[in-house]
Chains A and B, each alone.
Chain A
């Protein structure tokens, strides 16, 4: 690896992170607008035309707010918890192929890399809950980590079927294996398990028990304020984008689109983004539609339905591949 290659990689990383963070900012705006219109409201309207500058106003507000630290908090752990979350979420971006020839690192163990980093993300939640030295934060942290760990198993198992079909854990190989048909057609159960577990893994409604406002104030980040609160927010939205990107790559054919008529002239990145945006919209849609689960229902769903379904899917896929 020459100095030039390292430099190019740095520039790629910088551009990708900037674009993703802009996406995060406007995903919050889009979420408020979508949910607003679904509930017959207008959503943010005041800052800029149709509230278009709202994310920037929010960012400025978060940035200049006072950073309050609880008096008995464990300071080093309190400081490092949100940073772990953001780093784990942003590093997952490295292996995601946006189009055929673009990914910062084309790893052979791409899926395992994503799973490893998402399991590190659980630390930010559990440590934030513990270090705040507050009842609500602690309960939220315990809930969140139990939830994230259980649903990680379902996510991992649902991707095994895809890996078996593609014969590889490399994300580029997985997309190339879908040139005939996307894997959602042959792995519908795995897709269902993956999407539902992804919602639980990113702590989004209807599985947002860790931050259930009516019971726990805000869950594990109750005691955080200002930019540290913003970092948790950022980690959650980046994780949403990564889960959507993985679903796109593993089940919806990644950057591939229909190959006839004018469609074959559409650039690959456009297909990729359309699919990711559709999945993000699905996140917002389901949040506006469904009420929150109860905690025991949530754990029961994960262990008694999703994991057996994913296991059955592996067995069936194996049998089909064998014969």
Chain B
């Protein structure tokens, strides 16, 4: 009962803050509600016994990406945005599309069958070895190639940023 109650709290807050994020006039307030949202998502990861993911969620999303959002918002002059209407004319259409998507999602989720036997990474197996160790081992053995490809893509992005930022020296 208690876990369900906690989950209900987190689910309601996540949905509520998501709506607040898109309806605030001031972009800084939007970012702040998003921070609340990210912290609650991290708490959901803790419920799933994924403490490593929870920590990473806070460090990367709340600690780095959102701060960059704040920077960009502060450096742009957004006075005009605050005066304008929040939503475009098409918003009823958007709500309709969202509703259709939710119906599909519910239909799909109700079809999910939990397999009789779970994979090697059951909760007990992960807890005996530690979350960090399990993720590390899987990442560097089974999923080495995708992991390296991701690193290369990030490296390309870094080099691209440097090239764009660098002035030409004559």
Contact = CB atoms under 8 A, between A and B. Distances in A.
Question: Which of A116, A126, A145 has the most chain B CB within a 10 Å cutoff?
Answer: A116
B141 to A, nearest CB: 16
A74 B70 CA distance: 15
A168 B67 CA distance: 29
Nearest to A123: B35
A116 B67 contact: no
Contacts of B51: 107-109
B30 interface: no
A108 B46 CA distance: 13
A48 B89 CA distance: 70
A225 interface: no
Contacts of A113: 55
Q: At the interface, is chain B mostly helix, strand, loop or mixed?
A: helix
Q: At the interface, is chain A mostly helix, strand, loop or mixed?
A: helix
Contact of B132 (A115, A119, A169): A169
Interface string B53-71: 0011011001110010011
A109 B63 contact: no
A69 interface: no
B55 A112 contact: yes
Nearest to A156: B59
B63 A108 contact: no
Interface in A55-106: 74, 77
Contacts of B70: 126, 130, 145
Contacts of B130: 108, 168
A117 B32 CA distance: 16
Contacts, number: 62
Contact of A130 (B56, B59, B64, B74): B74
A220 B130 CA distance: 40
A152 to B, nearest CB: 7
Nearest to A122: B67
B62 A112 contact: no
Chain B interface extent, by class: 20 to 34
Contact of B28 (A77, A117, A142, A168): A77
A123 B67 CA distance: 8
A189 interface: no
A77 B32 contact: yes
Question: Which of A77, A112, A117, A130 has the most chain B CB within a 10 Å cutoff?
Answer: A112
Interface residues of A, number: 25
Interface string B69-105: 0110010000000000000000000000000000000
A142 B74 contact: yes
Interface in A117-136: 117, 119-120, 122-123, 126-127, 130
A288 B58 CA distance: 36
Interface string A6-44: 000000000000000000000000000000000000000
B131 interface: yes
B131 A112 contact: no
A78 B51 CA distance: 32
B132 A108 contact: yes
B52 interface: yes
A305 interface: no
Interface string B1-35: 00000000000000000000000001011001001
A116 B62 CA distance: 8
Given A109-B52, A116-B58, A123-B35, 8 more contacts: A77-B28, A108-B130, A109-B55, A127-B32, A130-B28, A138-B74, A142-B74, A145-B67
19 contacts: A74-B26, A108-B131, A108-B132, A109-B52, A109-B132, A116-B59, A116-B63, A117-B58, A119-B63, A119-B64, A122-B63, A122-B67, A126-B67, A127-B32, A130-B70, A130-B74, A145-B71, A149-B64, A149-B67
